[in-house]
Amino acid sequence: MKTLRLAYARIAQETNALSPLFTELSDFERVHYFEGEELAKVCGAKQTEAQGFLKNAELSGFVRACERSKAPIELLPLLSAWAVPSGRLSSRCMQTLSERLKELLSEAGEIDGLYLCLHGAMRSEDSVDPDGDLIAELRGLLGDQVPLIASLDLHAVMTPLKASNADALCAYRTNPHRDHKTVGRRCAELLIDFAAKRKRPCHAWRSLPMLLGGGTTLDFLPPMRAVFARMKEMEKDPRVLYASALMSQPWHDHPDLGWASYVLTDDDPDLAETLADELADMLWATKDVPPPAFESVGVAISKARKAKLSRQFGAVFFCDTSDVVTAGAPGENTAIIRGLIEGAQGLTCLAALRDEGAVAQLAKLPIGSSVELEVGGKLDPTISPALKLEGVLTFSGESTGFGRAVVVRQGSVHVCITENSPGVMKPDFYKELGLSVLGADIVVVKNLFPWRLFCALYNRKTVNVQTLGVTDLDAAKVLEFNDPMHPMDEVKDWREADRRRRY
């Protein structure tokens, strides 16, 4: 039996087109950048693929599945570059990453298949679809006979470039995302079958002019629960290899942004078309289900005060929906912190923001120093004006993944200031800075979905807080699209836009 030479790589970042920041190569190198044997090592058994985030992600799942396969396989690790969501990749950053990946692929020699782990909603300075550009460039290097599979976040932007140049696209099937490893494993199984000519990939997809919908969009709650259940049911048919529902994030400026369905079959184009249509109709049917309620800071604090039982046995968690770092926001929101200082007296509060200059200034002082300074108001002062802090320095040191950090306590509010965007979604963020999540009354997170899994042990009540920022759901209304877009416009059917978008 022929040994299959399978290569694997990742270039992943979720872009918020409304962010004032650019993403540079250093942002990838700071968080996660590996090549060759170093990549193979972090994907190995008992290793951590994404330090501070996930022990096993897509590439680990891919590697494990290949190692367990009965087919003889030679694995070729190329590179893995993963950055915190933020603004557009600079031209130089995108060019450097893509050229390096193509260089490593060429050095690998003849291969039998390529697995590419993407987010799918990346944006560069020069392109609205750099993920699609990358897939197309790699297809050009590989030729038509070598299978190429890409995995996507389910908030990816579906485009013709992605669909026409990848043999298969496989999106996450959970929200909050908890199936990274599973998706990587499934991509390995499919790639092995395609490389061995046991299956012939055939897909169909639909694009919906729909920016928002699905209520909470959680996979285990209505209305999305029925959609995800139907995809699992579809895959019980051996002819159906994978089904994806893509609920694209609403802060990307691709002119054909929208939700999408994608169905992969084993050489059955008619079935793929039929099921892609059905799945698109199911997604469209959720368009008028409203998102969860969002509260002002004052109302949120009032709810927290009344939630005495929740605070006794855990904490009230404020989701900072206007400054979701893991959706590309800068992490500089001062509004919630200002509100806590002014209105949450007597409640122990934990909150975070980004200010590199403030960290540099305070890191020189001894613990216990009285401090008075302005924080924030540097990256986007029109949205997040500077806030004056007057308190005591209680911590100074390194954090995992967010650079140097300091903590200033003003009254009962502990303000954690980091050099880099504080993507707060794990209780470890605060614990590492010497703070007790269990002992807090209010804990602020800067993440929409995964934090619910990581903080389940402590979270007794969730309040979604909206102030003003680039991850507000209505922030995308300033973007321009090729088609009338729900919910900004009245759109009776998705098919007219879909026909234009796919060709």
Compute the average pLDDT of residues 359-374: 97
pLDDT single digits (tens) 26-58: 999 999 999 999 999 999 998 999 988 889 999
Tell me what pLDDT residue 383 has.
92
Compute the average pLDDT of residues 85-100: 98
Please give the Cα distance from 115 to 168 (Å, whole number). 10
117 contact partners, CB below 8 Å, separation of at least 6: 8, 9, 10, 12, 57, 58, 59, 62, 80, 150, 151, 184
**Sheet strands side by side (includes 113-117):** 33-35, 73-82, 4-12, 113-117, 148-152, 168-171
Amino acid at 353: L
The region of weakest confidence among 50-59, 118-127, 252-261, 276-285 is 50-59
pLDDT single digits (tens) 289-305: 999 999 999 999 999 99
Element (H, E) at 164: helix 160-165
Contact 114, 142 (CB under 8 A): yes
Compute the average pLDDT of residues 317-337: 97
Element (H, E) at 225: helix 224-234
Tell me what pLDDT residue 53 has.
85
Residue 1 clears pLDDT 80, i.e. is over it? no
CA 335 to chain centre: 24
Residue 400 clears pLDDT 90, i.e. is over it? no
All structural domains of the chain, each given as residue ranges with its CATH number in brackets, are 4-284 (3.40.50.2300), 297-475 (no CATH)
* Per-residue H/E/C for 278-316: HHHHHHHCCCCCCCCCCECHHHHHHHHHHCHHHHHCCEE
Nearest to 167 by CA among 137, 202, 199: 202
Residue 230 clears pLDDT 80, i.e. is over it? yes
Write the DSSP assignment of 387-450 as a string of letters.
EEEEEEEEEEEEETTTEEEEEEEETTEEEEEESS-----STHHHHTTT--STT-SEEEE--SST
Beta strands 73-82; 4-12: pairing state: parallel
What percentage of the chain carries pLDDT values higher than 90? Answer: 95
Tell me what pLDDT residue 427 has.
97
Q: How confident is the model at residue 251 (pLDDT cuts 50, 70, 90)?
A: very high
Write the DSSP assignment of 168-183 as a string of letters.
EEEE---SS---HHHH
Compute the average pLDDT of residues 388-393: 97
Angle, vertex CA 209, rays to CA 205 and CA 215, nearest 5: 95
Tell me what pLDDT residue 270 has.
98
Q: What is the dihedral of CA 114, 118, 121, 124, to 10 degrees?
A: -80
Tell me what pLDDT residue 83 has.
96
Nearest to 263 by CA among 334, 327, 202, 330: 202
Q: How confident is the model at residue 386 (pLDDT cuts 50, 70, 90)?
A: very high
Tell me what pLDDT residue 337 has.
98
Tell me what pLDDT residue 282 has.
98
pLDDT single digits (tens) 435-444: 999 999 999 9
Q: How confident is the model at residue 62 (pLDDT cuts 50, 70, 90)?
A: very high
What percentage of the chain carries pLDDT values higher than 70? Answer: 100
Q: How confident is the model at residue 491 (pLDDT cuts 50, 70, 90)?
A: very high
What Å distances lie between residue 206 and 46, 164, 243, 282, CA to CA? 40, 13, 12, 12
Tell me what pLDDT residue 52 has.
83
pLDDT single digits (tens) 149-182: 999 999 999 999 999 999 999 999 999 999 999 9
Collapsed DSSP state (helix, strand, coil) of residue 453: helix
391 contact partners, CB below 8 Å, separation of at least 6: 370, 371, 408, 409, 410, 411, 415
